[in-house]
Amino acid sequence: MTPPHVTVVGAGPAGLAAAETALTAGAEVTLIDSAEQPGGQYHRMLPDAYAAVRPERLQHGWRAFDRRRRRVLAHPRCTWWPDTTVWALERLAPHEPGPPRVHVLCGPADGADRRRLRLDPDALVLAVGAHDRMLPFPGWELPGVFTAGAAQALAKGERVVVGDRVVVAGTGPFLLPVAASLLEAGSRVSAVLEANVTATVARGWSQRPWELAAQAGKAGELAEYTAALIRHRVPCRTGRAVIEARGDGRVEEVVTARLRGDWSVVPGSERTIAVDAVCVTHGFSPQLELPVAAGCALRGSSAGEFVDVDDDQRTSCPGVYASGEITGIAGAPAARAEGALAGWVAGGGDPAAPALRHLRRSRDQGRAFAERLVRAHPIGAAWHGWLRPETVVCRCEETDYASICRAVTNVASAAARVAKLETRAGLGPCQARMCGPTVAELSARLRGEPLGRPVEGLPAAVPHHRPIAQPIRLGELAGGPDHIPNDTA
């Protein structure tokens, strides 16, 4: 009997764990990642060309990751495709069993001569991760305003610091590692600002404290970052946010202000800090275009939409499994547990195997952690109080807040499709990855109902629906796939 072929998309903590257990279960594995190296954002590695002698200095849990990475990539049944982008998932006809066909491009990012290939796996594990969510504020489009993830990726991945006087702001525990890696790389962190007030953070984290014992590893990691901040005497404040960035062609200063529990600005509490960079995060958005393209059902939660999975990480789509941040923002340990479960079951392993018990427990603890995270670091309902009519909301098309307000409160244009065409918000190169959740939320708030009303004759607009998941050049599209590795293997 030929072993099943499992394609794993994403080689971060979840994807790498999935590849490992699918191999253990006996499957042939193709592991795909858009980066040159495995690790994802959490274990972002230095380029080989840096010839780093002590890469572990920048990584938590490096030894375990390094062992797993080597084991997986060297495995005779594993094919590793770095620099590879999934640009489309093609759903098969209803009578054809199995997951969608996977269309990929291999080669330098956005290059013109990438190889176009096609895979027809028996099972597909999606582990594509998340990116920073950032709420708009006046001046956030200025160069020098970065997502916290950008600062982290540049410091960890190529030893570039985004500035010398940096403010790190937003909400969530991710503020801490970002500040710590800037300090490690020699920047001065002027302040770390958590927008939620102490009461919100404390209430979120202190409920049922015994559950947290299971996350001791995570807690230890956060304690280390906190120690670094104390050592460098970085002022850390809760209930304070960056509400404006100012500068001539680049950020030169930020305005911070005290926030109430609902994130409304306390008048008169504004302060100005001179900076050459500001790093902001308001949580994470799961990258849902591939799960949506595969046809996976989503589940709504107070933190947004995620892929719905069962106890074995199966999605609603036969043969498609999901793991990691696309099922909920729960951190690397939970992602690893989910990935390991998904890979094992996808690879034909017995879902009732006793060894899975501790994985499920670890996954469930991670989910409890995720819920706690949402309670402790929510986005306050009154955040839009810091927007001005001229504040850019869609960075690509430079649609301002006033235009969004006009379009969504006007009855004729209130359907999502019409509002989008009228304001152009979400039509730019990023395809609403950045502004989508914000526009949806503002619309719902301004109209008192979600912006989902369909236009007559057209299906309802679905966010995250991007049939071309990643840019492909017309030449590449016209060239057609050049071979199917499955058939030649």
Partner 1 sequence: MSPRRVSAQADAVGRRDRPLLITVDGEAVEGIDGQSIAGVMLAAGRLGWCRGVSGAARGVFCGIGVCFNCLVTVGAERDVRACRRRARDGDVVTLQSRKPSTPGTVQESGTEDG
Give the Cα separation of 153 and 290 in Å (integer): 23
Give how far the C-alpha of residue 329 lies from the chain's centroid of Cα atoms, to the nearest Å.
8
Nearer to partner 1, 46 or 219 (CB): 46
Nearer to partner 1, 152 or 200 (CB): 152
Nearer to partner 1, 23 or 278 (CB): 278
User: How long is the chain?
Assistant: 489
Q: Closest distance between partner 1 and the C-beta of residue 459, in Å?
A: 26
Q: Closest distance between partner 1 and the C-beta of residue 43, in Å?
A: 14
* 390 SS3 class: coil
Nearer to partner 1, 156 or 372 (CB): 156
Q: Is 129 left (phi over 0), alpha (psi -120 to 50) or beta?
A: left
Q: Closest distance between partner 1 and the C-beta of residue 123, in Å?
A: 26
Q: Closest distance between partner 1 and the C-beta of residue 44, in Å?
A: 9
Q: Closest distance between partner 1 and the C-beta of residue 246, in Å?
A: 14
Nearer to partner 1, 150 or 195 (CB): 150
Nearer to partner 1, 34 or 196 (CB): 34
Nearer to partner 1, 36 or 311 (CB): 36
Cα separations in angstroms, 25 against 14, 20, 33, 466, 480:
16, 9, 22, 33, 34
Q: Closest distance between partner 1 and the C-beta of residue 395, in Å?
A: 6
Shortest CA distance to 159 belongs to which of 44, 67, 61? Answer: 44
Nearer to partner 1, 143 or 450 (CB): 143
Nearer to partner 1, 62 or 205 (CB): 62
Residue 322 buriedness (CB in 10 A; 0-12 / 13-18 / 19+) = buried
Q: Closest distance between partner 1 and the C-beta of residue 191, in Å?
A: 17
Give the Cα separation of 357 and 57 in Å (integer): 33
b/e per residue 277-296 (b: at least 16 CB within 10 A): bbbbbbbbbbbbbbbbbbeb
Q: Closest distance between partner 1 and the C-beta of residue 340, in Å?
A: 24
User: Phi first, then psi: what are they for 254, rounded to 5°?
Assistant: -120, 150
Shortest CA distance to 391 belongs to which of 142, 140, 147? Answer: 140
Give how far the C-alpha of residue 283 lies from the chain's centroid of Cα atoms, to the nearest Å.
9
Sequence-distant (6+) residues with CB within 8 A of 309 are 315, 321, 322, 323, 327, 338
Nearer to partner 1, 102 or 130 (CB): 130
Q: Closest distance between partner 1 and the C-beta of residue 407, in Å?
A: 17
Q: Closest distance between partner 1 and the C-beta of residue 260, in Å?
A: 29
Q: Is 211 left (phi over 0), alpha (psi -120 to 50) or beta?
A: alpha
CB atoms near residue 454 (< 10 Å): 12
Residue at 230: amino acid letter = I
Nearer to partner 1, 111 or 454 (CB): 111
Q: What is 46-115 written as a DSSP string?
A: PPGGG--S-GGGG-TTHHHHHHHHHHHHH-TTEEEE-SEEEEEEEPPPTTS-SSPEEEEEESSTT-SSPE
Which stretches of the chain bind partner 1, using CB under 8 A? 34, 36, 41, 46-55, 57-58, 108-112, 131-132, 141-147, 149-154, 158-165, 184-186, 249-250, 276-277, 287, 395-398, 428-430, 433-434, 471
Rg, the chain, Cα only: 23
Q: Closest distance between partner 1 and the C-beta of residue 364, in Å?
A: 29
Nearer to partner 1, 159 or 445 (CB): 159
For the record, the structure tokens of 111 come out as: 């290059």
Q: What is 14-57 written as a DSSP string?
A: HHHHHHHHHHHTT-EEEEE-SSSSSSTTTTPPPPGGG--S-GGG
Residues 326 and 105 sit within 8 Å (Cβ to Cβ): no
Q: Closest distance between partner 1 and the C-beta of residue 318, in Å?
A: 29
Pairing of strands 240-246, 236-238: unpaired
